Amino acid sequence: MKQGWAISYGLADPSIFAEDGGPSIAEAMMAGGCQWARADNKRIPGWEQMHLRFQANPPMLYFSDACEHTIRCISSVQHDENKPEDLDSEGEDHAVDETRYAVNSRPMIGTEPKAPSSIQYPKSVTEMTFAEIVNHNRKKRIEASSTW
């Protein structure tokens, strides 16, 4: 903001809006000129939105190489042993959560994903883990950039 950038849309975990006997974190940030919208932090719909985007043809969720922590976290998160449709929140998941907030803020309604015929996946995209999808797409980006 000090450099003159106009940020028109920012999401934050709803917990920053909690008032525990004083101004909330969101109020303190607002006093400094930083305003946030309350993110939809529903976990299962957020993971579904991420899956829809990864499986779309073409994929609708990309990360630049500068997003190293997000790429690392997405590729390393594990499913919850007691709730397989959710992720285990005991590990490092902040970067994954911020991606979930972003995709949940603009839900995508998808159709059955169809893999492009030019890409040979080792197994069905619906059976791949986040780590396998990220690694596969990283290899494709590296192959594509080496042909330039």
Query: Could you report the per-residue pLDDT of 109-136, keeping only the tens digit for each?
Result: 765 555 555 655 556 666 777 788 888 7
pLDDT at 44 over 60: yes
pLDDT band for 92, please (50, 70, 90 cuts).
Answer: confident
Tell me how far apart the alpha carbons of residues 51 and 15 are, in angstroms, rounded to a whole number: 25
Residue 136 in tokens: 């596969």
The answer to whether 88 and 79 have CB atoms below 8 angstroms apart is yes
The radius of gyration of the chain from alpha carbons, rounded to an integer in Å, stands at 18
Q: Bigger pLDDT: 16 or 33?
A: 16
| pLDDT above 60 for 17 | yes
Alpha helices in the chain (DSSP H): 25-31, 43-55, 68-76, 94-105, 130-146
- Cα(146)–Cα(14) distance, integer angstroms: 43
Cα 122 from Cα 143, distance rounded (Å)? 17
Give the integer Cα–Cα distance in Å for 110 and 147.
32
Residue 34 in this model has a pLDDT that exceeds 90:
no
